[in-house]
Structure 1
Amino acid sequence: MSTTTTPTAPDVRRRATAALVALLLAAAAGLVALPAPRAAGADDRARHWAGFRIPRTGHAAGGWIGGYRLDDAPVFVVTPGRRPNRAGFKPSRATADLRGPKGPSEAATERAAWILSRYGGHKDAVQAAAVDAAVLHLLGGRGWRFGARRGAARIKASGDPATVRRYVRLMLRGSRASAGPYAATVAATTADVGGVTGVTVSVTDGHGGPVSGLPVRVTSPDGGPSQPAAGPLDTVTGDDGRALVRLAAPLSGWRTVVAEVGQVPLHWLRLRRADRKRQASVAEGGVRRTIVASTRVAVRGPQSVTLAPVPSSLVLGGQAAVSVTAQGDATPRAARAALHGPFATAATATCTGQAVATTTGTLPSDAAYTLPAVQPGAGGYYAWQVDVDGTGTVIPAGSCGAVVKVRGRPTVSASAPATAAVGSSVQVPVTISGMPFPMRVDVRLKLYGPGDTSCSNAISTSSMSRLGNGQVVSGSVLLESAGVYSWKVEADPGDLWQGAESVCGAPGSRTQVSP
C-alpha cells in the first residue's frame, strides 16, 4: 500500500487528546457517501489517511496502523495476513459474512461493523489506529487480537500505545453492548381537533438498549383535504433512547406519522475486496444509515347528533321510539337512549332526573336509525336523551330532545243512588281517574229516562269541572216520574288526555224511581 508522512510527536499528542475527548463524548462521525464505480484501468489503490507508521512485516497489517483513503472514503484492513494491496479493489458491497463458515462469527462481524461505522469516519491518528486494532481483534484471528503478540506489537509501535489500547477497550466494550440491528418504533397519542398529537420515537441498539444522541426527523406526510402534512420536526434521542415531538392536529381523520432516525451504525460491512486474490481486502469506515418507522394515529373530531321522535304524539299504551342521526363517522357505534318524563308542557320537558325507560342499539352508519321502542307509563310530555359512542376519529356525543307527547286515557264513572222516590232531588258523585296532571277537566252528567236504557236522549245535563283526578258532586237533579233512569258521564278531551265517557247501564249509573 502507498504511504504518507508520519505525523510529528507534538501532532500525535495533540490529536490523541482531541480523539479521547471526542470518543468519551460519543461524537458521531458524518455520513460517508459510497464510492462510485471506477472506470476500467483507473487508479483505485488505497493511500494513508490517519494513523501511524509501524515496521513492515510483509503482511497487509504491517507498515501502517490506522485507516486508508480510497475514493474519498476511509477504509480499514480486514484481512491482515494477506499481502499489501498494490493492485486495487473491487466496487463496494455489503456483507455480513467475510469468509464463509471458517471466517469470523456473525456476532464478531456485527461488532466490527459497529466500530467501523461509529468511529471509523473521524480523521484522528489515535482513533483510526484504535479502530484498526479493534477490527483486527474481531476479524483477523487469534494472532491479531490486541493482547496477542502480533496485535500488541502493532499497537506498541504506534505513536501513543497507551491511548490506543484504552480506545480499543472502549470500542470493544461498546460493540459488545450495542452491536447488531438497531430498531426504531413510533408511538403517537390520539388527539382531538385543535389539540396536538404527541409522538414518541424510541431507538434501541442491537441488544435492546436505549440509544442517545441520534438525530430524528418526524413528519406527517398524508396531505390532502382530510389531513394536511405536518412537520418536519427535528430532534435528538435522549439518554432513554427517546425523542418527543408534538404535531398540530387541525383536522379529524387518520394520519400517518413517520420518523427518520439518522446516523445509525451499521451491523454489516461495506467491503472492498482486492482485485487480486492474495492481496488484502478493506472495509469502509464511518458509513451510517437511516432507519424509518411509522404508525397510524387518529385525530378525533366532533360528531353531530340529531334526534326525532317516532312518532311525535301517541296515546298511552302505544310505543315511543327515537330516530338518531349521528354524523361525523360512518363507522358503526353504540347508542344509548333514555326517556325522561312525564312533564306538563313541552317547554318544560328536559333530560333530568331518573329515566322512566331506556333502550340501546348500534348505529350502523351515519344515516338515520331508529332505536328499539319503549312504552311510556303515563300521559305527558317526554324528552329523549341519547348518548353515542365515539370511534377512532370522532368524540363521543350526546343530545337531549325529540320531545314526544303521550295522551292519557282517563276514565269517568257515576255513583247514583239505586232507588229514589218520585219528586225527589238527588246529587250524584262523579269520579275521574287516569288524568296525567292536575289540570282542569270539564265533566257533564247526563240523565236518561225513564225507560231509556240505551242512553239515547238526555232529559237533563249537569255540568261541572275539577283539577285532575278525584271526585266532584253534581248539582240537584229532580226525578219527576216513576221508572228506571240511566246516568252517563262525559269528560272533555284536553292537550294531554283523550275525552272519556262512562258505560250506559254500568253499576252506579241506574236509579229506580218509585211512585
Structure 2
Amino acid sequence: MPTTRTITTTTTIRTGRAALIAPVLALVLALATLVALPAPRAAGADDRAERWAGFRIPRTGRAAGGWIGGYRLDDTPVFVITPRRRPNRAGFGSVDATSDLRGTKRPSGAATQRAAWILSKYGAHKDAVQAAAVDAAVLHLLGGRAWRFGARRGAARVRASGDPATVRRYVRLMLRGSRASAGPYQVSVEPTSADVGGVTGVTVRVTDGHGGPVGGLPVTVTSPDGGTSQPVAGPLEAVTGDDGRAVVRLAAPLAGWRTVVAEVGQVPLHWLRVHGADRKRQASVAEGGVRRTIVASARVAVRGPQSLTLAADPTVLVTGSPARVVATIDGDGSSRAATASLHGPFSSAAAAHCGGPAAGTVSMPVLDDGAYASPSVTPSAGGYYVWRVAVDGTDTSVPAASCGAPVRVRGRSTVAVSAPATAARFDVVSARVTLAGLPFSGPVDVTTSLYGPYGTASEACTGNHRDVVQRRPGNGTFTSLSFQVEEPGWYAWRVSAPEGDLWLGSASTCGAVGTLTQVP
C-alpha cells in the first residue's frame, strides 16, 4: 500500500507593488501549517534558479525534463510554466504580475487563475511530493494538451517521481480545489449599528472565486475613528468559520459615524508572479506561496442620546384659546421630525400624565438642533393638561421623548335662573338655578340675589338686594333658598358663581325674560 501523506499548505504575506494588488474585498483560505517565506531577493543577488524540492526524472532537453518539483530563486520557490522551452541556464529577469500569459497557444484566463491559486496555496512548502504535485498541476493547466495530467508527457513525469501514487492523489485534490475556489476572493464587512456605551458587532464574510464560503482565514478588525479617548478601537483577531464568517465586537464609546476596517491575510492570488528568462527560448517560472492581504472597510453609525426640554406657551389659558409647546432639542443636528400631543384634561396638576387621552396631536419638522414651537392645539375643556413631545431618531441619534410642561386651562362657567312670574304678598318664593361649564366637580358657592321691589320692570337690578349662598358640588339644576316678598312691585332675580382654579366666574343676566317676579 502507498504511504499516506497530508497535503501541507504554507501561508505568507508578500507585499507586491500597490498597483498590482486588485482592490477587491477577499480573504484567504486557511492553511494547515504556517511557514513564513523569506524576504524578496536583494538587488544584485544571483538570479539563476536551483533545485529546491521534488524528484529527479529523465532529461528531455526541455525545461520540464530532469526534475519534477520546485526550484529556488534566491529564497523564493518557483515553478516552471513553459515546459517546451530550454532549461534556463542564464537566469531570470524581474517579476511580472500577470493574469494573461501571452502567446498564440496561451492558456485561458480561468486556467491561469487556477494555476495561480495552486501555486499560492501549496507552492511554498518544502516537501518533495507536494512540490512535484504542484509542478504537475500547474503544467496541466498552463503547459498545453501534451502536459496534462493524464496525457503522455504529463503522466510520464508523474510516473518518474519518487511516489507517483501520492503525487497523483495530490494533483487531483489540487485541481479539484482550484476548480471550486480559484478566482478573486470577495470580502464583505457588515457592521451593526450600536448605541453609545454598547458594542458594534462586525461580521466579516469571505467567499472564494466561485462564491463559496472560505473558512480558517485570519482576520484583524480595527476602527480607526473609534473615539477621542480611544483613537483606534481594536485590533481584534478572529478566524473565519466553516460558513466563511468571522464575528467580532467593538466597543462603541462615542456617537457618530465610525469606520470599521477588516484586514484579511493569506489570500491566494488569482494572478501569476512570473519571472521571464534573461534569454529567449529559455524557460520562465512563476513564484509559489505568494499571498496577499486584503483590506475591506465599511461605515456604521453609533447612536447617541438627544436632549429634550419642554416649555408650555402659555402656561394658563381659557378654553377656546390656542396652546403650544416650545421644545428645545439637542442631538446630532440632522433633519428629523417631532410630534407634540396635549394630554388631558385632568382635575389636578399632580394627576396629569401623558398616558391619558390626547386633546390634539401636531407634527413639526426639526431641521437642526435648537428651539422649536409646535403648531397650536385648542383644548375644548377646562382642566390640567401636559405636553408630550417625541423626536425621531437619526442614523446617529436615539429617538427621544419627554412628558412635561403642564398647562392650566380654565373653563367658562355659566349660571341661569328661572323665577316664578307672579307671587302674592307675604309669599315665600324661590327660583330654579342652573349651573354649567365647570370642568370637574366643585365645591362652588352659588349666590342667588333678589332685587326689588321696583315700580316698573325696567328698574330691575338696581338698589338694595338680598343674597343667599348655597354650596354646590358641581354642575346641575337646583332650587334656590327662599325669600319672602312683602311689598307689591317687581322683583328681579340674579345668580352668580365665583371663579375657581379651573373655571372663570359668571353671573346671569338681570332683568331677562323669566327672571322677574311681579307681586300685585
TM-score of the aligned structures, taking structure 1 as reference length:
0.90
- Secondary structure of the corresponding residue to residue 412 of structure 2: coil
Q: 1:84 to 1:454 in 2, by over 3 A?
A: farther
1:485 to 486, 491, 497: 491
Match of 2:511 in 1: 505
User: What are the equivalent positions in structure 2 for 1:259-408 lying under 5 Å apart?
Assistant: 259-408=262-411
> Higher mean Cα deviation, 277-286 or 411-420?
411-420
User: What are the equivalent positions in structure 2 for 1:13-28 lying under 5 Å apart?
Assistant: 19-20=6-7, 26-27=31-32
Q: Are positions 1:461 and 2:476 aligned together?
A: no
Q: Are positions 1:44 and 2:47 aligned together?
A: yes
Match of 2:115 in 1: 112
Deviations 1:182-209 (A, max 9, x none): 0110111222222222111110000000
Instruction: Tell me how far apart the structure 2 counterparts of residues 453 and 340 of structure 1 sit (CA, whole Å).
Output: 48
Q: 1:470 to 1:22 in 2, by over 3 A?
A: same
- Maintained 8 Å contact 1:219/1:257: yes
- Secondary structure of the corresponding residue to residue 273 of structure 1: strand
- Maintained 8 Å contact 1:414/1:488: yes
Match of 1:193 in 2: 196
- Maintained 8 Å contact 2:460/2:491: no
Shift of 1:470: 1.8
Instruction: Tell me how far apart the structure 1 counterparts of residues 304 and 291 of structure 2 sit (CA, whole Å).
Output: 41
Match of 1:3 in 2: none
Letter in 2 for 1:112: A
Letter in 2 for 1:235: A
Q: 1:415 to 1:143 in 2, by over 3 A?
A: same
Instruction: Tell me how far apart the structure 1 counterparts of residues 327 and 458 of structure 2 sit (CA, whole Å).
Output: 53
Instruction: Tell me how far apart the structure 2 counterparts of residues 226 and 373 of structure 1 sit (CA, whole Å).
Output: 45
- Secondary structure of the corresponding residue to residue 61 of structure 1: coil
Q: Are positions 1:78 and 2:81 aligned together?
A: yes
5+ residue gaps, structure 1: 1-12
Shift of 1:513: 2.9
1:426 to 422, 425, 429: 429
- Secondary structure of the corresponding residue to residue 79 of structure 2: strand
Q: 1:228 to 1:455 in 2, by over 3 A?
A: farther
Instruction: Tell me how far apart the structure 1 counterparts of residues 514 and 457 of structure 2 sit (CA, whole Å).
Output: 16
Q: 1:358 to 1:344 in 2, by over 3 A?
A: same
- Maintained 8 Å contact 1:455/1:488: no
- Maintained 8 Å contact 2:411/2:504: yes
Shift of 1:67: 0.8
Instruction: Tell me how far apart the structure 2 counterparts of residues 359 and 339 of structure 1 sit (CA, whole Å).
Output: 9
Shift of 1:26: 4.7
Deviations 1:385-438 (A, max 9, x none): 333332222222322211111001010111112223445442223221001111
Shift of 1:447: 3.6
Shift of 1:92: 0.7
> Higher mean Cα deviation, 271-280 or 216-225?
216-225
Q: 1:96 to 1:129 in 2, by over 3 A?
A: same
Q: 1:477 to 1:19 in 2, by over 3 A?
A: closer
Instruction: Tell me how far apart the structure 2 counterparts of residues 101 and 499 of structure 1 sit (CA, whole Å).
Output: 107
Q: Quick one: percent identity of the two aligned structures?
A: 66
TM-score of the aligned structures, taking structure 2 as reference length:
0.89
Instruction: Tell me how far apart the structure 2 counterparts of residues 21 and 35 of structure 1 sit (CA, whole Å).
Output: 22
Shift of 1:82: 0.7
- Maintained 8 Å contact 1:31/1:288: no
Match of 2:16 in 1: none
Instruction: Tell me how far apart the structure 1 counterparts of residues 230 and 34 of structure 2 sit (CA, whole Å).
Output: 37
Runs of 4+ residues over 6 Å off in structure 1: none
> Higher mean Cα deviation, 285-294 or 335-344?
335-344
Match of 1:494 in 2: 500
Q: 1:227 to 1:363 in 2, by over 3 A?
A: farther
Shift of 1:501: 1.4
Match of 1:8 in 2: none
Q: Are positions 1:244 and 2:247 aligned together?
A: yes
Number of residue pairs aligned between Structure 1 and Structure 2: 498
Instruction: Tell me how far apart the structure 1 counterparts of residues 31 and 265 of structure 2 sit (CA, whole Å).
Output: 15
5+ residue gaps, structure 2: 11-29
- Secondary structure of the corresponding residue to residue 190 of structure 2: strand
